[in-house]
Amino acid sequence: MNISNYNAIKEFIYVNNINIILVGLCGSRAYGTAIDNNDYHSDYDYRGIYLNSIDELIGIKTDKGQICDTQTDTVIYSFKKMITLLSNCNPNTIEILGLKPEHYIYLTDIGRELIDNADMFLSKRAVNSFGGYANSQLRRLDNKAARLVGQEEREQHVLNSINNAMYDFPRKYFNYSDDSVKLYIDKAIDPTMESEIFMDINLKHYPLRDYKAMWSEMNNIVKDYSKIGKRNQHAVEHNKLGKHMMHLVRLFYMCFDILEKHQINTYRTKEHDLLMDIRNGKFLDDNKQPIPEFFELVNELEKRLEFDKNNTDLPDNPDYKHINEFVMDVNESVIRGNTY
């Protein structure tokens, strides 16, 4: 790491008077997909965790949630917020527990203990958190390219996105039984389509506003896929479309490690060459649009994710008992002044 960055981060920590337990690389340099040549140098980005103060724990001071330093591209999350994100297997934060050892630039005993107990956060939630994030990346790609895989395959992408969104519906809205809302693909009634998504709904005495909110989320996903515009143009002009495509594929492989091996591996050694080929434009045509082979690759990754979803032996939810005991121990150390 550039020593000036290290000193700037130390100054940032000092000025904000925060009790850091961990700071590490994030982004392309953490994934092993950075580019350093005469034309381009990948940024150095950092992410970390600081412990909540005593007055945030037992006083009236509000938890900031996170503190950002634009000078060094550093985001430091509060311990309280980070635990929530980790418990949901959030892709942007769970990776901090799986960095290469040399990619941690600051690590205390508590930070090491958090990494050593990373398995308490792993659950089937990874399917929807990583799958949902991957599908959001997929929707960033040009719809013209998406159509190249065929309308039926594209409809499956839409359904996958909706299913990922629906995973959180029972927690966000009034609960309903699993067989009350069923979405599936069948032969299209619309003459302009080969196949389309259908739904079977069986809800009784259900709050109208909750149903409206759920419908709105599903509707927004369908609309997002249907837009034909120039939202992709900025990425094309700045040669970042390949980077978006690479991260889409990387998310799948990180999720496979969690579901199949119970491991968080941020640095992607095995898939490095594939990821760099994608980033460097191997799967783009002369107009800088994704070629059909890329979407065929994504389809295979989605099939593997579906298989893992049905066969992983991870629990449905993280180990809340273990997490709660760990959090209580850490917060007690803060109150007793034993964290430095």
- Has residue 139 got a pLDDT over 70? no
- Has residue 165 got a pLDDT over 90? no
**Structural class in CATH, domain 3-121+318-336:** alpha beta
Dihedral angle sign, alpha carbons of residues 84, 257, 261, 160: positive
Mean pLDDT of 119-123: 97
Burial of 14 (C-beta count, 10 Å sphere; 0-12/13-18/19+): exposed
Burial of 318 (C-beta count, 10 Å sphere; 0-12/13-18/19+): buried
User: Considering the chain, what percentage of its residues have pLDDT values greater than 90?
Assistant: 48
- Has residue 152 got a pLDDT over 80? no
For the chain, the domains span 3-121+318-336, 125-311
- pTM for the full predicted model: 0.75
In 3D space, the residue among 109, 103, 108, 223 whose CA is nearest the CA of residue 162 turns out to be: 223
| Token pair in block for residue 243 | 């980077």
- 248-271 pLDDT, tens digit per residue, is 999 999 999 999 999 999 999 999
Mean pLDDT of 44-51: 92
pLDDT confidence band for 340 (50 / 70 / 90): low
Considering just the CA atoms, what is the radius of gyration of the chain in Å? 22
